[in-house]
Structure 1
Amino acid sequence: MASPSTDTKIFGFLPQEAVPGALLVVTALMAMIVVNSPLAGLYHAILDTKVTIGPTEGGIEMKFSYWIKNGLMAIFFFFVGLELKRELLEGQLSNLTAAILPIISAAGGMAVPALIFLFFAAPAGFGHGWAIPAATDIAFALGVLSLLGNRVPPALKAFLLAVAVVDDLGAIVIVAFFYTETLHLSYLVQAGVVMGVLIAMNRFKVRAIGLYVLVGVVLWVFMHQSGVSGTIAGVLVAACVPMRDRHDKSPLHEAEHDFRPWVLYGIMPVFAFANAGVDLAGAEKYLTHPVTLGAGLGLVLGKPIGIALSGYLAGKVMRAKLPGTFPQMVGVACVAGIGFTMSLFIGALAFKDPALATPTRLGVYAGSVISAILGLLILSRVLPTAEKVAPSTEGDETAPFIKPEPVFEARDRAD
């Protein structure tokens, strides 16, 4: 599968890991500029255009913005699913004992923000968006952390990655069970049959990723028609991609490597551009809106309280080795408060009323930006200075969302 160029010279002053996050910021700013310019009408007209894919009779018709949310994001979730499976089988979460601490931390990091959101929003009738601040944008968070260079101990990077991966898994479960409105059992049955085909392909160790994608499209159609978010189909297809084939090669690693640039430099920026635009005219009246406060404070306060406190206490109770000091864990937990892409996605699922788009986006923006700044400020104070950090001789294997696996770098050179 050909991949778009990942040449990042335009952001040459940034570490490579930070480029996807920087690209998202630029894309979001572009959306803000367009929405607050004479092009706003064209922007909304394009997103509201009805697009039909399939036969004239029986095809699926949705607004262009919905195709981005339900179609392109299914590919994003396919990529996330590949990462989840790799982490569960051979990564940070493959050892249950070692995984307990980040699992508990991630659970706290989802529960506390949700409670904070409910505190502000539920009395006003907006409690359905409780999961908005529970999400972490893994690419953005790891990119921000990379700005500190080798000052960040590998254990802290691994801790953030593991927490973010569990967080992604939680977000997938939340979308599947809490943001599904109406179920059509006949389509679910057909989706089950297609899943059977995928499972059989896995059992026979079929390595052709194109076949999984093709069958996955059929699964997406049935899932979408059933009322379940079609994005879940992406995760289910990823779960069926074999880790190893009959020749002991890894179709899963290859798929993750090939899809990475498409997701980071294509799908995520497109989603951000389509969902990040906020009309600033009169936006000040939403600053104290319950959804704005719930989303923003959920990310800024809920994430560090939930992740750092639950992880620290769990480590003490289990007498497990912590990834860093408590202040360092607080700093990393603040970085995990960068919700952005995932929070915007859940917000779009939670609230169909266009009037709630502005407070949702304002809360996510404010919460993510403040979380990033707080995390960097705290970590810059509590981490050892660059002069005291010995140069690392190990490859950075804690950011699979950003860097290709070493095996593929070698393969590319051989080709």
Structure 2
Amino acid sequence: MSSPAADGEQVTPRVTSDTAPSVPIQGPLDQGPPDPALIRLERGLFRFSYNEPRSAALLLAATLIALIWANLPGGTYQDFWHTELGVALGPYELSLDLKHWVNDGLMAFFFFAVGLEVKRELAIGELNDRSRAVVPIFAALAGLALPAVIFLALNASGPGAGAWGVVVSTDTAFVLGVLALVGPRRAARLRLFIMALAIADDIGALLIIAFFYTESINLPALGVTVLGFGLILVLRRLRVSRGAGYFVVGIGTWVAMYLSGVHPTLAGVVIALLLPVFPPKRQAVERAAQLARAFRQSPNAKYSRAARVGLTTAVSVNERLQIAFHPVNALVIVPLFALANAGVVLHLDTLAAAFGSMLTWGIVAGLVVGKLVGIAGAAAAVTRARPGSLPPGLTLPQIVGGAALSGIGFTISLFIVDLALTDPVLQDQARVGVFTASLIAAVLGAVIFFAIRGQTRDLGPPLELLRPVDPERDHIRGRPDAPYTLIEYGDFECPFCSKATGSIREVREFFGDDLRYVFRHLPLERQHPQAFQAALASEAAAEQGKFWEMHDLLFAHSDALEPEQLRSYAEQLGLDLEAYDEALRTRAHAGRVNDDLVDAETSELAGTPAFYIGEERLIGPYDAQRLIWELSESAPPPLGATEAREDQASSES
């Protein structure tokens, strides 16, 4: 635990993510003592895959290697990727060259992971909340349509007209990587906006691939494909939780879809959308804990298997597969795809032909101009029609910078080049267009963010309150219209926050009804593993009108916040335990807590507790006398308040 400083526990807040745990899951319980070297390697690769700048750098390195290799004498690049590789089973054989094994085979796993993320976001994620989703969805739709319109305006006819799909999609990994390098320091809200935008963008791109890049249909093979999807539903109905069964059926379905004429990568998407996603159920979690405890007390093969099955069934297969596939996608499949598809022979005549082609310039204009104008214009239109639809900390200038970066279309753009064009010359021109557009978009985004920083004169952390106090949203003790306002960002497991409650009690006694005290969440999970769950418990109590009672109990027992202890506090307060359990199981209030977390990160709050006097950040000590003095200076006292306090002080003396 860090030592306290002038303004609290100096720990950087972290926005939680259900799909990016800070510590990777260890191996199965029956593998025996783990090899520390292998565990360190696993953790290192896991963290690397979730580091956006590093993942983007790996993708860029694979692209550069492909370009260098393709331009070496001897033509080894083309020879290698056109090497045939077949799989035979009796009289049946499936033979593809290496490039198509990557594009049609491995990329099915990439699109499978995309489908898993889409399903989760639609079911229990950001796109499940209409108020959060409206701006990114409209921005994504405009960012899909306008680039295609611009491309077709320049390529209305001719052999390249079918490549309009190249300009519709954004490469999320590249965009987030570049955003981390050139974006504003306080970019948490912008990053969440781009991620929601990317999900809607991916849905549109997948539908375009399905409906516009399928040439002929083999009905018997398509029937077998539908049967495969039906088997996936049967496995789901039977509550099969292990990935192996889905994998076997999935491979057969992929083969059938390949033979049907529909692009086989879409099998991965459909299977992902069919898999179940749900919040962990309390009974299943408790059962897994009991099984793990039994194995710990009596380690044997029978208990090992039972504990492993219990842990597996407690979490939906969707979320487990997201965790499993993310490192494979980020570190293997996407870089390998770039290596197989980014190799363009950059001779002078090739470049001259590309930059003299309307196909190339249609792609550049579609990605650079279409994405920027479409996304930024739609966001501006929605926010004008619905004031307040942007969350605090996210501004239209930031969205303009993010919209410019969204012109980096790489992975899916190159993927569609291979689907839309058969002429190698046109394919090279399209790839040059994608590379050029991505470079221009990255530079343009950097320039916009530099201009934003210059205008705002970003000289240090913001001192003004980011989100104004809202009686409909905030937890307020005291009169909502009281003249003095004290806002705390706190952590129920933080010992300094629990000590600060004594100071706040003195402040409230001093000001009485003239003070409104507001509490917001800043759980520092890396140092306080129970803090986020405690915040959810307080919100579950708030749902039943007992936030402050739970608030006081949690701070009184800040060292006893295990799930069963939290539930005992709910029982002590007389809460409806069934409703309380359901709120925690579904993480119904995670969005509310995460909103406070993102606000804190955007405001660069260094640790907990953090205080605002009115709408201005308090820097330095937070003892009762300091808080009283700062509050007294923050607003004129109400009529008669000064005399009343003087009378009270004289009577006490």
Taking structure 1 as the reference length, what is the TM-score of the superposition? Answer: 0.88
Partner SS, residue 124 of structure 1: coil
Shift of 1:356: 1.2
Describe the shift of the 1:178–1:16 C-alpha distance in structure 2 as closer, same or farther (beyond 3 A).
Answer: same
Q: Which has the higher helix share?
A: 1
Q: Give the corresponding residue for 1:235.
A: 269
Shift of 1:345: 0.5
Partner SS, residue 128 of structure 1: helix
Aligned counterpart for 1:25 among listed residues 49, 60, 66: 60
Give deviations 1:326-351, integer Å, cap 9, x for gaps. 22211010111111111000111111
Gaps of 5+ in 1: 397-405, 408-415
Q: Give the corresponding residue for 1:123.
A: 157
Q: Give the corresponding residue for 1:379.
A: 449
The 5 A counterparts of 1:181-192 are 181-192=215-226
Aligned counterpart for 2:365 among listed residues 294, 297, 300: 297
Partner SS, residue 75 of structure 2: helix
The 5 A counterparts of 1:320-359 are 320-322=388-390, 324-359=394-429
Partner SS, residue 388 of structure 1: coil
| Preserved contact between residue 207 and residue 242 of structure 1 (Cα < 8 Å) | no
| Counterpart amino acid of residue 143 in structure 1 | G
| Counterpart amino acid of residue 28 in structure 1 | T
Q: Give the corresponding residue for 2:252.
A: 218
Give deviations 1:111-140, integer Å, cap 9, x for gaps. 111111112222334210111011111111
| Preserved contact between residue 206 and residue 242 of structure 1 (Cα < 8 Å) | no
Partner SS, residue 319 of structure 1: coil
1:306 to 2:374 alignment: yes
Aligned mates of 2:424, 2:150 — CA distance in 1: 23
Aligned counterpart for 1:206 among listed residues 234, 240, 246: 240
Query: Rg: which structure is higher?
Result: 2
Describe the shift of the 1:147–1:53 C-alpha distance in structure 2 as closer, same or farther (beyond 3 A).
Answer: same
Quick one: percent identity of the two aligned structures? 37
Give deviations 1:199-241, integer Å, cap 9, x for gaps. 1222333211121121111110111110001000111111122
| Counterpart amino acid of residue 68 in structure 1 | V
Describe the shift of the 1:325–1:86 C-alpha distance in structure 2 as closer, same or farther (beyond 3 A).
Answer: same
Between 1:361-370 and 1:248-257, the stretch displaced more is 248-257
Describe the shift of the 1:35–1:189 C-alpha distance in structure 2 as closer, same or farther (beyond 3 A).
Answer: same
| Counterpart amino acid of residue 257 in structure 1 | I
The higher-RCO structure (CA 8 Å, 6+ apart) is 1
Gaps of 5+ in 2: 1-24, 28-38, 285-313, 464-488, 490-521, 526-531, 534-653
Describe the shift of the 1:355–1:88 C-alpha distance in structure 2 as closer, same or farther (beyond 3 A).
Answer: same
| Counterpart amino acid of residue 314 in structure 1 | V
Describe the shift of the 1:86–1:395 C-alpha distance in structure 2 as closer, same or farther (beyond 3 A).
Answer: farther
| Preserved contact between residue 118 and residue 294 of structure 1 (Cα < 8 Å) | yes
Q: Give the corresponding residue for 1:366.
A: 436
Aligned counterpart for 2:174 among listed residues 140, 143, 146: 140
| Preserved contact between residue 131 and residue 389 of structure 2 (Cα < 8 Å) | no
Give deviations 1:53-86, integer Å, cap 9, x for gaps. 2326332222211111100100000111111111
Describe the shift of the 1:149–1:118 C-alpha distance in structure 2 as closer, same or farther (beyond 3 A).
Answer: closer
Aligned mates of 1:299, 1:185 — CA distance in 2: 36
Give deviations 1:294-334, integer Å, cap 9, x for gaps. 11111111101011101210221133422533222110101
| Preserved contact between residue 150 and residue 386 of structure 1 (Cα < 8 Å) | no
Taking structure 2 as the reference length, what is the TM-score of the superposition? Answer: 0.57
Partner SS, residue 205 of structure 1: coil
Aligned mates of 1:358, 1:395 — CA distance in 2: 50
1:270 to 2:305 alignment: no
Between 1:115-124 and 1:170-179, the stretch displaced more is 115-124
Aligned counterpart for 1:259 among listed residues 303, 325, 339: 325
Aligned mates of 1:316, 1:90 — CA distance in 2: 28
Aligned mates of 1:176, 1:387 — CA distance in 2: 48
Shift of 1:180: 0.3
Aligned mates of 1:8, 1:52 — CA distance in 2: 31
Aligned mates of 2:249, 2:408 — CA distance in 1: 34
Aligned counterpart for 1:288 among listed residues 347, 350, 356: 356
Aligned mates of 2:444, 2:167 — CA distance in 1: 16
Aligned mates of 2:94, 2:462 — CA distance in 1: 56
Shift of 1:29: 0.6
| Counterpart amino acid of residue 284 in structure 1 | L
| Preserved contact between residue 184 and residue 449 of structure 2 (Cα < 8 Å) | no
